[in-house]
Amino acid sequence: MAHLTDLTDAEIWTQLESGALARIAWTASSGPQILPVNFVTHDGAVWLRTTAHSSMADQIDESPVAIEIDDIDPATHVGWSIVVHGRAEAIYHESDVPEEVTSLRAWAGDHRPLWIRVSADTVTGKRLTSQ
Amino acid sequence: MAHLTDLTDAEIWTQLESGALARIAWTASSGPQILPVNFVTHDGAVWLRTTAHSSMADQIDESPVAIEIDDIDPATHVGWSIVVHGRAEAIYHESDVPEEVTSLRAWAGDHRPLWIRVSADTVTGKRLTSQ
């Protein structure tokens, strides 16, 4: 059976800094939404890139979001999961984006001019071990 | 660059029926939430299992949720993503759960007596191809 234990802050940020693919959840007028996104972390924030006209960008600017990354074996249920809660902010000028962040490739390719910065208010991580 | 195309309904349900690990998003009073969950599909619905006293179970009963599954290569961005929108309903008696569903193992192991059924209102799928 799998067993849940907390990850330390150091373990959480190590995983966040090495991560590439996350899922972001937010609340639209039609209800909860979820999409996969590529991300990078920098200076305590999670950065995403999207199209300026995507529905996600319209809906999440200045709104609370939850971002999850994980690595879980579906067969054994061993792995880990990290959730970041924070507020999303659209960054319209690339000059406002740190150089360490601009290397991020958006998950769906071309024409992704809008950056989203999510300041991490809370970060929680769980390890699933087999015992 | 990656390119987005729609999956057919047949492709979507083939992936949903073979899937095991999803992420579920819902809206709590504190804002959007997201967690990994194991799931099975049966008769047009997505079934999850959780602890009766988990915060997810308290929050999602009779509420709209979004469930996402994907298989995306973080390096090449090739893969697919499927999102199910629907309404969650807690099923308190295992006798109300179809036999095809009860083989599901919960992602975090033991003491998972509560079943969640999500009727799929909308199901959308995207393929990311390299071109």
- Residue ranges of chain B whose CB lies within 8 Å of a chain A CB: 1-4, 20-21, 23-27, 31-36, 38, 64-68, 70, 72, 74-75, 77, 81, 83, 85, 105, 107-110, 128
Average pLDDT over residues B10-27: 93
Q: Which residue of A21, A66, A72 is in closest CB contact with B32? A: A66
- Gap between the Cα atoms of A92 and B42, Å rounded: 44
The pLDDT, as a whole number, for residue B105 is 64
Cβ B74–A21 below 8 Å, yes or no? yes
Q: Tell me: the pLDDT tens digits for B32-91?
A: 999 999 899 999 999 998 876 778 888 999 999 999 999 998 778 789 999 999 999 999
This complex has an ipTM of 0.90
> Cβ separation of B25 and A32 shorter than 8 Å?
yes
Q: What is the pTM of this model?
A: 0.91
Q: What is the pLDDT of residue B111?
A: 61
Min distance A96 CA to chain B CA atoms (Å): 25
% of chain B exceeding 70 in pLDDT: 89
**What rounded mean pLDDT belongs to chain B?**
88
Which chain A residues are closer than 8 Å to B77 by Cβ?
Answer: 38, 105, 107-109
Residues of chain A with Cβ-Cβ distance to B83 below 8 Å are: 33-35
Question: Residue A126 in contact with residue A5, Cβ under 8 Å?
Answer: yes
Q: Do B109 and A20 touch (CB under 8 A)?
A: no
Look at residues A83, A6, A122, A59 and name the one whose alpha carbon lies nearest to residue B56.
A83
One-letter amino acid at A45 equals A
Which 3-state string (H, E, C) describes chain A? Answer: CEEEEECCHHHHHHHHHHCCEEEEEEEECCEEEEEEEEEEEECCEEEEEECCCCHHHHHHCCEEEEEEEEEECCCCCCEEEEEEEEEEEEECCHHHCCCCCCCCCCCCCCCCCEEEEEEEEEEEEEEEEEC
Higher pLDDT, B81 or B111: B81
* B chain contacts of residue A75, beta-carbon cutoff 8 Å: 20
- Give average pLDDT by consecutive 10-residue segment, chain A, 131 residues: 84 91 95 93 91 82 96 86 96 88 67 84 92 61
The mean pLDDT of B94-120, rounded to a whole number, is 79
Backbone angles phi and psi of B118, in degrees to 5 = -115, 110
pLDDT of residue A55: 83
Cβ distance of A107 and B72 shorter than 8 Å = yes
Residue A34: list chain B partners with CB under 8 A: 23-25, 34, 66-68, 83
> Can you give the pLDDT at residue B1?
46
List of residues 6+ apart from B125 with CB closer than 8 A: B6, B7, B8, B11, B12, B15, B80, B81, B82, B83
Test mutation, A77, A110, A119, A126, chain B, max B CBs within 10 A = A77
Determine the pLDDT at residue A109: 56
A-chain CB neighbours of B54 within 8 Å are none
Q: Which residues contact B86 (CB under 8 A, 6 or more apart)?
A: B45, B46, B64, B65, B67, B118, B119, B120, B121, B122
